[in-house]
Structure 1
Amino acid sequence: MSAQPANRYLSGSAANMVRSLVVIVALMAVVILIVPRVNRITQPPVDVAGSADTIASQSGWPIEIPVGLPDGWRATSVRYERSTDGVMTWHVGYETPDNQYVAIEQAKDPTTGWVTAEVNRAAQKGTVEAGGRTWTTYVRDLKVQNSLVNRPSSKGELTTIITGTGTFAQLTEFVEHLQVVKPSSPSPSAT
């Protein structure tokens, strides 16, 4: 029996490895180019007004929502849940026309820890007048977050925070559109 000659492609030369790598990279490039990619995920619409009416009725709180924001503002989240220090929190988040984020956070008689967490431990910078109220401004430079905080002087009222990556102009524009959702029938067990 005669031995068959060795196949030169099985010898494992560096040139063969480079050719194989080039073929694999070319195939991967083709796959990457032909597979469609999603540039943006669109969420279903968020029913802010409906949720606000329900929560205002259940909690007995005069929570606020923005009404009549200009075109391009889009509600992205709404919830009423326990937050820092167990504080019940009303939250509504919006995306601005330039893809920034602005949210309203409200709580009744919150702790200082709750306020600190909501403004992301930002430094207090001053005050601004908007929507007939005086707001304390907070700026977190390293992690872009601007916040407006309105803490009422009377106990039992809601502290309101407008916060997000939006500019202070966007935050004050948001404030100018806030309207109270009056509870239709407060729950006796509201916390």
Structure 2
Amino acid sequence: MAKRPPRVVAELGRPETPEETAARKAANSVNYRQRQTLRNLLLALGASLLAVLVIVLLVPRSDTAIERDIDVAAVAEQAQVASDVPLAVPELPDGWRANAAELRSSSADQVTAWYAGYLTPSDEYIGMYQGLEANPTWVAALLERTIATGTITIDGVEWTVYDNRDSGDDVGNARYGLTTEAGDSTFVLLGTGTPEEFETIATALVPTIDAQR
């Protein structure tokens, strides 16, 4: 059988040398392996994305927003070991929910305060602060340094009112506020609730306030 003539490479205009043939085959082998590696990576990525999609579809979801309801009394009981002053736990009617409760320390004013945050029946916010041996600077900072607009007596307790609802200034959550003092405690209520909702929580604080007078 006649031997097949060497392959002529168009770019060279002559037959390949054995070395060039070996180099070409080696390069083709490398290119093939690279294409296979890329293909395998794409297949693996696709499989991973498919698995994630299946998990997302299988996990049950709810359109209802998850809202925390903190047991303020339980947190206060734990926090009480750090304070000689009884910590306030207002008993509020149905429709009120607590989303935070903790002892807070202000490094600027050196004041420790018992705090509980509430969502009102109208889905607004009211924060209750009980400052322990607080000072006017601490109160002013909480109320965004706004000016008192009057006083109100609620169930025998006189409160200073800070009504900033019509203010054009940025007062944060201090749209409305009430403050009063009893013994070593300074009570500050502030938030976006209605005045009636503020009266509800202020009334619930009366037993604690009376006990500290």
Unaligned runs of 5+ in 1: 1-34, 182-191
Q: Which residue of 2 aligns with 1:72?
A: 95
CA distance in 1, matches of 2:143, 2:97: 22
Please give the secondary structure, in 1, of the residue aligned with 2:77: helix
The one-letter code matched in structure 2 to 1:130 is I
Deviations 1:66-87 (A, max 9, x none): 11x2221101100102025121
Q: Indicate the RMSD between aligned Cα atoms, in angstroms.
A: 2.3
Q: Which has the larger radius of gyration?
A: 2
1:28-47 alignment, distance < 5 Å: 40-43=65-68, 45-47=69-71
Dislocated runs of 4+, deviation >4 Å: 35-39
Residue pair 2:134, 2:186 contacting (<8 A) in 1 also: yes
Q: Which residue of 1 aligns with 2:185?
A: 158
Task: Classify 1:61/1:37 alpha carbon distance in 2 versus 1 (closer, same or farther; 3 Å).
Answer: same
Q: Which residue of 1 aligns with 2:51?
A: none
Task: Classify 1:73/1:111 alpha carbon distance in 2 versus 1 (closer, same or farther; 3 Å).
Answer: same
Q: CA deviation at 1:57?
A: 3.4
More strand by share: 1
CA distance in 1, matches of 2:178, 2:200: 12
Deviations 1:2-33 (A, max 9, x none): xxxxxxxxxxxxxxxxxxxxxxxxxxxxxxxx
Unaligned runs of 5+ in 2: 1-56
Q: Does structure 1 residue 148 correspond to structure 2 residue 175?
A: no
1:13-28 alignment, distance < 5 Å: none
More helix by share: 2
Equivalent position to 2:75, from 39, 51, 65: 51
> What is the total number of aligned residue pairs between the two structures?
142
CA distance in 2, matches of 1:116, 1:137: 13
Deviations 1:34-76 (A, max 9, x none): x989563322x31200111222333111221211x22211011
Q: Which residue of 2 aligns with 1:180?
A: 208
Q: CA deviation at 1:113?
A: 1.4
Residue pair 2:133, 2:185 contacting (<8 A) in 1 also: yes
Residue pair 2:67, 2:99 contacting (<8 A) in 1 also: no
Q: Does structure 1 residue 89 correspond to structure 2 residue 123?
A: no
Quote the sequence identity (%). 30
CA distance in 2, matches of 1:172, 1:39: 30
Please give the secondary structure, in 2, of the residue aligned with 1:63: coil
